[in-house]
Chains A and B, each alone.
Chain A
Amino acid sequence: MSTVKPGYVRPLDLKHGRVDLSHGGGGRAMAQLVEQLFVAAFDNEWLAQRNDQAAFVPPAGRMVISTDGHVVSPLFFPGGDIGNLSVHGTINDVAMAGAQPLYLAAGFIIEEGFPLADLTRIVRSMARAANEADVPIITGDTKVVEQGKGDGIFITTTGVGIVPDGVVISGDRARAGDRILLSGTIGDHGMAIMSKRESLSFASDLVSDTAALHGLVAAMVHAVPGIHCLRDPTRGGLATTLNEIAAQSGVGMMLDEAAIPVRPQVDAACEFLGLDALYVANEGKLVAICASDDAERLLAVMRAHPLGTRAAQIGTVIDDPHHFVQMRTRFGGRRMVDWLSGDQLPRIC
C-alpha cells in the first residue's frame, strides 16, 4: 500500500538543485519554479491570480514608466545583491521624476546550471526590498539560457508610478543661479563592488549604499514642489550625472570640492586604485537642483530623512555655452569635472 500522499509533487531542491533548461521551457518544471520560488516569495494578490499579466486601475495623474537591466558582478556584495539592487534601481528611476512608484515587473534570464540556493537568496532579497518599499512585484517572466550564454543571472525590472499634479521635474530644467544638492556620501557602492573583485580585493567596511529613495523624494517634493531636477548618480558617478544635466539644460556648473561628502574609507580605496570618487557608482543617493530660494528648506528636509543625513549643497548652476562642469578644488585651484571616457580603470601610473 503506497504511503505517498495523493497529489504529491516532489518539491524543488532549493538548497542543492540547479536551474536547468526545463525551468525555462514553459512546462511543468517552469510552473513549479515560478510557484515555489517567485510566487511564494513575492506573495501578492496579482501573482496569486496566476495570469501572464497584472491588471490595476491607475490613480489620477501623469504616469511614469522606467526600466533597467541589472548585470552586476559579483552577484552578492557587501550591503546588497543583484536582487535588492534591481528593486531599488527601478524604484529610484521612477522616483526621480518626482513620482510615487506603484508597481514593479521583473524579468529573469538565468543561465543553465545556476544554483537554486543563490536564486532563492536573490528572489527573497527582492521580496524583502519590495515589501519594505511597499512597491509589489506584480508580474514577471523567466527564461533559461544554455550554459555559457549568460553571466549567471540577468534581471530586468520595470516600474510604473504617478506624478502628482503641478510637479514637473526634468533634466532640462536647471537654470543659472540654481543650487545643486547631494543627498549623501559618494562612491560607496562602486568601491564596495571593487573591493570584492578578484585581484583588487582589499579588506574594509565598505558597504553598498543601495536603497529605495522614493520616501526621501516624497518628503522633498512635498516641501518644495518646484524642484527643477532630480537624478540618481549611478553608473559613471556624480560627474556623469551632472554633465548629463548640464548638457540637457544648456548650462554650466561650478562645484565646491570641499562640500562633497566622501567616506574616509572610500577615499582611501580610491587612492589605492588611482580612481576618482566623482566617477564611482552610487545606488542610494540623489542629486537635486532647485532655485536658490528653495535650497535651505530642501536641504533641511533632506537632512531630516534617514537617507539624507549627510546631504549637502555642493555647487551652483552657472551660465556657460560650453556646458562645462567645473570644480573649485580643495586645494584652491580650478579643474573641470569632465565626462567619463569608457570605464574608469584602476591604474599604476
Chain B
Amino acid sequence: MCLAIPVRVVAKPNESTALIDLDGVQKEISLELLDGVEVGDYVILHVGYALARLDPDEAERTLALFAVAA
C-alpha cells in the first residue's frame, strides 16, 4: 500500500510548498504535514505530500547492515 518515494527538496517557494526532484523530474508538493524541511533535505513523498524526512546517516547505516549480512 502507500506508494511513497524519497525525493530531494530543491526549492521552497514558501513555508508550505516544496519543489522536489527525482532524477530530473520535478514536482511541487505540500509541506503541510511536515515542519522544518530545508532545501537539500530528502523527504518521503506520498500523494503530493511530504510525510517524513529521510535521515541520510540512517540510510548509510542500513546499507552497511546489508553488506555485513552478505
Contacts and interface: CB of A to CB of B under 8 A. Distances in A.
Whether chain A touches chain B in the assembled complex (some CB pair under 8 Å): yes
Given A348-B46, A348-B47, A204 B3 contact: no
Given A272-B5, A348-B3, A349-B2, A203 B23 contact: no
B62 interface: no
A264 B24 contact: yes
B3 to A, nearest CB: 5
Interface residues of B, number: 12
Interface string B24-39: 1111000000000000
Interface residues of A, number: 17
Contacts of A204: 24-26
Nearest to B22: A268
A246 interface: no
Contacts of A347: 3
Interface in B3-17: 3, 5
Contacts of B47: 348
B1 interface: yes
Contact of A206 (B3, B5, B25, B27): B25
Contacts of B25: 195, 202-204, 206, 265, 268-269, 272
A204 B24 CA distance: 6
Interface string A193-204: 001000000111
A267 interface: yes
Interface in A259-285: 264-265, 267-269, 271-272, 274
Closest 4 pairs (CB-CB, A-B): A268-B23, A268-B22, A202-B27, A203-B26
B24 A274 contact: no
A185 to B, nearest CB: 14
B67 to A, nearest CB: 16
B66 to A, nearest CB: 12
A202 B23 CA distance: 12
Interface in B32-59: 46-47
A319 interface: no
B46 to A, nearest CB: 7
